[in-house]
Structure 1
Amino acid sequence: MQSIEKNKLFLASCLALLVTSLSFGIRAGIMSKLGTDFELTAGELGTIIATAFWGFPLAIVIGGFIVDAVGMKKLLVMAFVFHLLGIVLTIFAQGYWTLFISTLLIGIANGTVEAACNPLVATLYPDNKTTKLNHFHLWFPSGIFIGTLVVLLFDYLGLNWQIQVGIMLIPTFIYGFLFSKLDFPVTERVASGVSTSTMYKSVTSPLFLFMFICMFGTAITELFTGQWIEMLLKNVTDNSILILTLTTGVMIIGRGVAEPVVHRFSPQGVLVLSAAFAALGLYLLATLTGNSIFIGAFVFGLGVCYFWPTMLGFVSENIPDSGALGLNLMGGAGMFAVSIYTIFMGNFYDQLIMENLPSDANAASTSPEEMNNLLELARTAAGPEVLKVTMVIPIILVVAFIGLNFYMKNKKKVVLA
């Protein structure tokens, strides 16, 4: 394939992922407004957020099974349609169920984008997969970064959240147009002649299953925290959405310079460092207050920066016969885990708020103003507690990835012997 065509495909893939990440960044920034406008509890908001993570694994896993047969172009046309429907329905949402359905549609679109684009990038750059997947996934934090700035700017201008959501239509139409005009290669597995039975055997290997399980933890650490950070810490600092802005800014820079980092430490070495920094970052976010909390955001951004693309790159490089199915099963595993964890922690957050209210506080005997103050104090205490519970996950991952490093070193010694 000519380099010009290859670059156009990569650019269009990045724009499609930008829409995916804008949906995360803008939704994270308007979550409180949605709760207020539609009178939703934290548990209901958690369920709405989770639908994006349900639609994602549904689409990415199904896409993983059919992408070799139907081709990557048809999947991306489907992604464009689902993005368009989901965005428009969100703009005209009337309550819980329209938000639920619109978020589900956007989740399906997001999963379909990754189902096609991850194997597309691996196919376009077979000799530099981990680095190029990091460059591709640079556009995920970029979209969240841009989305949070859009929320801040539009809030300052007094524009409503519907206009903020509508901004996503611009890159949606651009990537839809570009993909409709470009020719696509077949997937790397099909081009290399690896049989379907070999592919299925690869995704049941012990190493793949280990990475599959670890993907639960890396995805939860990155995506749950990112989607909930504004709500969990909005009473700790006056600029809680800027925490997400800083975190994603660090991720953009980190993924942009991924090549020397990955080559210096190896993918599995990068994963150890990532888990350690993510755990430390969550601890700092949960304990620091005021402007010093941005130190925690910086450290956390360093931690989660390489998680998602390096997990995919490791699988693509070390279990190449797993093909597009392997990449998409990994992505589906991560998003499914986030969906379950989000629902659980939304209810846990509500429970913590109730536990932190004084025992004699109730709507009948307490003035509305005093009750609001008590709720604010309860939320201030509850948010960091959720982060402390989540911190256990990257701590476990540190141990798991250290074990992976020893395994890969021993495997290399055996091969050399």
Structure 2
Amino acid sequence: MDLQISRGKLMLASFLTLVASGVGFATRTAAGTDWETEFGIGGGEFGAILGAGFLGFGIMIFFGGILVEAFGYKKLLVLAFLMHLVSAAMLFAANPLFESWQESDPENATSRVFGLLFWSAFLFSICQGLYEAVINPLIAQIYPENKTHYLNILHAGWPAGMIIGGLFAAGFIGPNAWFVQIPWQWGLSSFAIIVVAYGILALPERFPETVGESSTAGFATVFSCFLSIPFLVLIVLHALIGYMELGVDSWMTKLMENVLPNAVLILVYTSALMFVLRFFAGPIVHRINPIGLLLGSSIIACLGLLWLGMPTENVMMVFAAATFYSFGKAFLWPTMLGVAGERYPQSGAIAMGALGAAGMLTVGQIAGPRIGAQQGYHMSQDLQEAAPETFDRYKSDELASSWGYEYTPIAPAKLGAVNQIKEVDGEGFSNLESIREADLLSAEDKETMLAHAEQDIPAVQAAYVSGGRQALTLTAMVPFAMAIGFAGLLVYFFTQGGYKPVEVHKETEEEEEVALGMGDPAPAEY
């Protein structure tokens, strides 16, 4: 039996776990309009579902790091493999259950299907957390010669998945699909194909021992990173990175819905840039240290978000701003993991898991709901000021309150129907059928919306775009705060003689091969 560890196969399998996560993420962000029209799920609830897609990730990536050190890599990968498939299966239950709930309990049907979608996304995020708890320390361990570079290559799998999922969503999900609109369940469960592929590749393979399993200093040593003040600062900064990068990505498709012909293209484009850029992190880090790279990236990301938030009807300007923003966000997440691996190698999966947990919990509990509340608040305010009569026809019957924003939102079913309509020069509006066929709208609502379509539709869509831009502008404060934090770390390391990776133990070539499972240990002496 071959007991050698194949670094190439483990790297590819780890890469595919992130591809699967990216596909699931991108397709989920494109489902908002379908959920608005089919289930009456509004912006706040949609943001909560997106948040659930990170909440379990944040919890599990930290505790998963402890489990990795206690039980090893492979067992957790098997568990995540099975749970990911269950998450996909839950999506197919949404429509039949919603239909039965409408018959038995119509007042709570929307809230109950929201709960089902929420827990499906939560289970998906638990699997993501288990993956990251495994693959980050695994890759850092099997590529000790250049951890930051290979972690950036590994995390190119995330934008690769968003490219695949985004193109799939553009072609087949939603009313503006390029080819044909398929049921959203099939689109959102497409990640399962990649899950099966990585399972076939990885599960038969042999994995190395974790840092905790192979350490002679005792299991408690892996928690020593929490005694370092710079590491605690890194945790806070990584929380801000999660808010900015994944919070904005979660909402990018929705925020650009009335700006671009097919809004998911902006997510595909920025993901493609991230995919390419992450392969070049190694040479950049060799020229400037990782903290300098993080500082520069934060400044560029801040300026990019401010640019994205500027009013413009020029599509090329939108893509130019997105390009600038992508250069800022591309290196942040994996480079932070590289810093944890280089400065706290004795902590193995724990240090990387703590950073990932901070980022994902922030996205799930703060960024997703807060950005959604900001967009909804400013959309309602702008519509109320610019077209008060339209606002009266489109407002919801219930107040919304989230993260300090209390406002009367636009009714989700009405907004979902209007966002499917495009204005055709000289030919009026296309797809007014989206109003006539909206099951959650009453006959009176449909008649009123159609009677005032010429006045209301442009006003609602303009307010939607304005609310999204203001949300992006407000989010620019997050990378500004990150830049201040990284500047402080840069000064700290300068006073310590400069940033240097920490080496716990300099192994001989033979010892390193044994540690990685690629050689035979020396015979015992008696």
TM-score greater than 0.5 by the shorter chain: yes
The answer to whether the 8 Å contact 1:122/1:188 transfers is no
Moved more, 162-171 or 127-136: 162-171
The secondary structure found in structure 1 opposite 2:259 is: coil
Unaligned runs of 5+ in 2: 96-112, 396-444, 501-526
The answer to whether the 8 Å contact 2:53/2:121 transfers is yes
Moved more, 383-392 or 171-180: 171-180
Kindly state the Cα deviation for residue 156 of structure 1 after the two structures are TM-superposed.
Answer: 1.7
| Closer, same or farther: CA 156–413 of 1 in aligned 2, 3 Å | closer
Give 2:133's aligned residue. 115
The answer to whether the 8 Å contact 2:55/2:360 transfers is yes
| Closer, same or farther: CA 364–412 of 1 in aligned 2, 3 Å | closer
In the TM superposition, what are the counterparts of 1:12-411 in structure 2 within 5 Å? 12-94=13-95, 95-154=113-172, 155-160=177-182, 161-287=184-310, 288-291=312-315, 292-339=317-364, 340-358=366-384, 359-360=388-389, 361-363=391-393, 367-368=448-449, 369=453, 370-411=455-496
Paired residues in the alignment total 415
The answer to whether the 8 Å contact 2:211/2:346 transfers is no
For the pair 1:412 / 2:497, whether they are aligned, the reply is yes
**Distance (whole Å) between structure 1 residues aligned to residue 498 and residue 48 of structure 2:** 48
**Distance (whole Å) between structure 1 residues aligned to residue 301 and residue 273 of structure 2:** 13
Deviations 1:212-271 (A, max 9, x none): 000011111110111101111212232322111111111011101111011111111110
Unaligned runs of 5+ in 1: none
The secondary structure found in structure 1 opposite 2:208 is: coil
Kindly state the Cα deviation for residue 201 of structure 1 after the two structures are TM-superposed.
Answer: 2.6
| Closer, same or farther: CA 193–355 of 1 in aligned 2, 3 Å | same
Equivalent position amino acid for 1:159 in 2: Q
Deviations 1:73-97 (A, max 9, x none): 0111111111101112124323312
Give the greater-gyration-radius structure (CA): 2
Equivalent position amino acid for 1:290 in 2: N
Kindly state the Cα deviation for residue 309 of structure 1 after the two structures are TM-superposed.
Answer: 0.3
Deviations 1:137-187 (A, max 9, x none): 010011001111111122222132222223212111111122220111111
The secondary structure found in structure 2 opposite 1:157 is: coil
The answer to whether the 8 Å contact 1:278/1:301 transfers is yes
Give 2:512's aligned residue. none
Q: CA RMSD in A?
A: 2.0
Kindly state the Cα deviation for residue 332 of structure 1 after the two structures are TM-superposed.
Answer: 0.6
**Distance (whole Å) between structure 2 residues aligned to residue 147 and residue 222 of structure 1:** 17
**Distance (whole Å) between structure 1 residues aligned to residue 13 and residue 359 of structure 2:** 24
The answer to whether the 8 Å contact 1:77/1:179 transfers is no
Kindly state the Cα deviation for residue 4 of structure 1 after the two structures are TM-superposed.
Answer: 6.3
Q: TM-score, normalised by structure 2?
A: 0.75
Moved more, 222-231 or 165-174: 165-174
Deviations 1:13-61 (A, max 9, x none): 1111111111111112233322222211100101111111111012111
Q: TM-score, normalised by structure 1?
A: 0.94
Kindly state the Cα deviation for residue 413 of structure 1 after the two structures are TM-superposed.
Answer: 5.6
Equivalent position amino acid for 2:48 in 1: T
Equivalent position amino acid for 1:351 in 2: Y
Kindly state the Cα deviation for residue 357 of structure 1 after the two structures are TM-superposed.
Answer: 1.8
Kindly state the Cα deviation for residue 312 of structure 1 after the two structures are TM-superposed.
Answer: 0.6
Percent identity of equivalent pairs: 32
| Closer, same or farther: CA 112–412 of 1 in aligned 2, 3 Å | same
The answer to whether the 8 Å contact 1:15/1:171 transfers is yes
Normalized per residue, the structure richer in helix is 1
Deviations 1:306-341 (A, max 9, x none): 011001100110122222111001101000011122
Equivalent position amino acid for 2:8 in 1: N
The secondary structure found in structure 1 opposite 2:260 is: coil
